[in-house]
Amino acid sequence: MTGSHPDITPLPDLVHGRSRAGPVRDRRPVYVDLLPPCNAGCPAGENIQAWLSHTQAGDHELAWRQLVADNPLPAIHGRVCYHPCESVCNRANLDSAVSVHSVERFLGDLALERGWQCDPPPARSGQRVLVIGSGPSGLSAAYHLARLGHEVEIRDAGAEPGGMMRYGIPAYRMPRDVLDGEVARIVALGVLVTCGHRVEDLVAERDEGGFGAVFVAVGAHLSKRVEIPARDAGPIVDAVSFLRSVASGERPVIGRRVAVYGGGNTAMDAARVARRLGAEETLIVYRRTREQMPAHEEEAQDAEREGVRINWLRTITAFEGPELQVEVMDLDEAGFPQPTGRFETLAADTVILALGQETDTAFMRGVPGIEFDPDGTGQVSASLMTGCPGVFAGGDMVPSERTVTVGVGHGKKAARHIDAWLRGSDIVGARKHDTASFDKLHPWFFGDADRRQQPELAPQRRVTGFAEVVGGLSVEQAGFEAGRCLSCGNCCECDGCVGACPEDAVIKLGPGHRYRFEYDRCTGCGACFEQCPVHAIEMFPEPV
């Protein structure tokens, strides 16, 4: 033997008809695949690590096809997803998280530019599915159902498809040509989209259309209201209606000073849109603290860069003409805002209410078996099926975080379960691999690599119109950023195990095929395991 280990006792062995000394091990190395934290953290269920790897290799179309196997809207997600994958990225423990969203946007934009289309569906199943709502959840479900061979029709009350992506997300974040391009790709799969059609009787539409299943994905379009005492009040409008009117091409008169009441992402968008409509002074009134606001911090920062002022711990008590009365709040011991009796007067010509949204579920109230929670969301099983057999629901319709990415994930999940329902089969969930946390890695292999930044319009230019604020990465930047991925838990073929093995027991199988162990040579010393930067090798007890 060329190496030794204190726990190994050489014994005679017969290899290929000849005698040699072979080790007796108490453990052996095994190549494993763990779950990267980015994949685990993606509500859309994307295999992020895989498409980053293809991007790094320069195979952009393969990367895109890997991506759209799970998510049909990458150009949209690269712009509006709040990228929870990046918040759990192990790279952040070295320098900064991989900019997953910017690479996703790069691939999505490249696909639109080059006209890449999805593979045609397989032979038709003969089953029809009705999808109510053309937002992210409805589009995702329709896409995945079509790829499974089903005939799908989307019915939506809006004039154009897209739901809140079209009517709630401003154009400076979500250019409409990008939305139209990704919707067109779904339509090209044979999905029929019927707009301007409000469903009033779900059961009747299901039965008359011969649909074997229904997926309800109506967005939260109804604004919550609050009574504000007013005598000579200026305009008080809700944020959803305000954003919808602007997205439809209208330019409502809002005056020189605008106050937005609320602390969510919709409030930030409404304030930023008001600035673009000419408001010289735009302020947000929110009754809690910055740490407690539901809006993402980056949204608040962007609003402030564009000149929006945020008044924390304030609540509106009256609106009289150009004057807005607010009461100062204090947090109690439990962290809840309490009135103080101290008041301030602010200037405002218009008040925009952004206090949250609800779904309009009136058309489902008479469907047998469907039950609702007090907040109006529908009760569903683990398969997203309601109490009415064959009627599924997702997105804003069910209790969950209301984001585009969560909606797309619901659509994908619902499609799988609808497919199983129509075929009379069950889905057997596969056991997920353990997550490759940072403490499992040996990051000696990875050097410093600064995150590539997307270009942005200067704040003074942003408020002059609705041009897109954030730009995309170049080919070189996207490849570099993808290369920052640590390949957590999955072999990256760095050859470290080959170089570390003192017994030449690791056999390289060629690019893309990884390695294998020659166990008749292996002593179980663990050198390969100890150096593996990505924890793609685990030591297991020797089989009895």
d(CA 170, CA 246): 8
Low-confidence ranges of the chain (pLDDT < 50): 1-21
User: How many residues does the structure list for the chain?
Assistant: 544
Q: What is the pLDDT of residues 226-235, one digit of tens each?
A: 767 665 556 8
Q: Where are the alpha helices (DSSP H) in 424-526?
A: 459-462, 475-483, 496-500
> Residue 231: its pLDDT value, please?
56
| Domains defined for the chain, CATH in brackets | 11-33+491-541 (3.30.70.20), 40-116+443-483 (1.10.1060.10), 128-221+359-423 (3.50.50.60), 223-355 (3.50.50.60)
Render 289-317 in DSSP notation, one character per residue: -GGG-SS-HHHHHHHHHTT-EEE-SEEEE
Burial class of 365 by CB neighbour count within 10 A (0 to 12, 13 to 18, 19+): exposed
Q: Where are the alpha helices (DSSP H) in 202-290?
A: 202-209, 239-247, 265-276
3-state helix, strand, coil in the chain (%, to 5): 35, 20, 50
> Residue 459: its pLDDT value, please?
92
Amino acid 448 reads D
d(CA 451, CA 286): 34
The pTM score is: 0.89
What are the contacts of 242-249 at 24+ separation with CB within 8 A?
Answer: 242/270, 242/273, 242/352, 243/167, 243/168, 243/170, 243/269, 243/270, 243/273, 244/167, 244/168, 246/170, 246/273, 246/277, 247/166, 247/167, 247/168, 247/170, 247/171, 248/159, 248/167
> Residue 392: its pLDDT value, please?
95
Between the CA of residue 328 and those of 54, 225, 256, 313, 332, what are the distances in Å? 54, 21, 24, 6, 13
Q: What is the pLDDT of residues 344-375, one digit of tens each?
A: 999 999 999 998 777 777 778 788 888 888 77
